[in-house]
Amino acid sequence: MKIALDFDGTICDLKGIVRGHDFSKCKPKKDAKEAIDWLLKEGYEIWIFTTRAESEWEDIYGWLLKWKIPPLRITNIKRNATIYLDDRGVRFTSWQDFCKLLG
């Protein structure tokens, strides 16, 4: 199984729409490290899917290292995954349900 993990708000405990915010002092979300360790141990293919600029990816790798989280592959390209785990995601059921959600 392939799982794409959002960084901000899912691994790193930042909330809201993040644009250029410094995450260096941010702590991991509760149980994030343990869950990632477990997923890897169970053989899941996981990576970070983020909208952060590529210029920030080295900082993300450093942050992962600081918190002893395995250095996951980072991408901003939507790759084929079984699950996209994101704190702001909405599961699509129908366009009617989506429009109700917005309005």
Q: Report whether 63 contacts 27 (CB < 8 A).
A: no
**Higher per-residue pLDDT: 15 or 6:** 6
pTM of the model: 0.87
Element (H, E) at 85: strand 83-85
pLDDT digits (tens, 9 = 90+) for 25-35: 889 999 999 99
pLDDT digits (tens, 9 = 90+) for 28-59: 999 999 999 999 999 999 999 998 999 999 99
The chain-wide mean pLDDT, for the chain, equals 92
Please tell me the total count of domains within the chain: 1
Residue 98, CB-side half-sphere exposure with 13 Å CA sphere? 7
User: Dihedral (C-alpha) 36, 40, 46, 51: value to the nearest 10 degrees?
Assistant: 30
Any idea what the CATH number is for the domain that residue 95 is in?
3.40.50.1000
Q: Residue 56 has what DSSP assignment?
A: G
Report the pLDDT value the prediction gives residue 14, as an integer from 0 to 100.
82
d(CA 95, CA 103): 12
